[in-house]
Amino acid sequence: MSYSYDLAGHVLTKTYPSRRTVTNAYDNAGRANTVIGKLGDGTSRTYANGINYSVFGGISREQYGTDTPLYYKTFYNIRGQMFDTRVSSVKRHLGLEPRPFDPLLLKQSHVGRKRHGQQRQRDLRGELGATTQRNP
């Protein structure tokens, strides 16, 4: 196998003994964003493109080069830990991406038991927040 590199040391092309090639393209941050190749029958194909990265550095979405667009999506929690990965034909994340904590989203809710002046707070997405105590 032979390789060609750019000045930053990224692999630009990989040539197999069969003379088939795979070409990588990179974004301004030096992360792969497109993979194109001529494997198998020698026809040029896009294997992956539109690769997006999360703020934590891992891939959050990439589009496979299939006839029907398929998107590989990875979801991270607020600590940057992957908690889910999916493949679908829907490009959007459908609201599953983590959001930074915003105290302005908190509101009073009467969900659940209310005992001795306690109130539970939920944010606008319905997630349980803090419990407050009122003194009579």
In this predicted model, what pLDDT tens digit does every residue of 58-92 receive, in sequence order?
888 899 988 888 988 888 888 888 888 888 887 76
Closest CA to 75 of 66, 84, 67: 84
The number of domains in the chain is: 2
Segments forming the whole domain that contains residue 15 = 2-88
**Among positive and negative, which fits the CA dihedral 78, 80, 86, 88?**
positive
Per the domain annotation, does 125 fall within a domain?
A: yes
* Highest mean predicted confidence (pLDDT) among 4-8, 100-104, 132-136: 4-8
Say yes or no: 40 and 83 in one domain: yes
pLDDT at 52 over 70: yes
pTM: 0.61
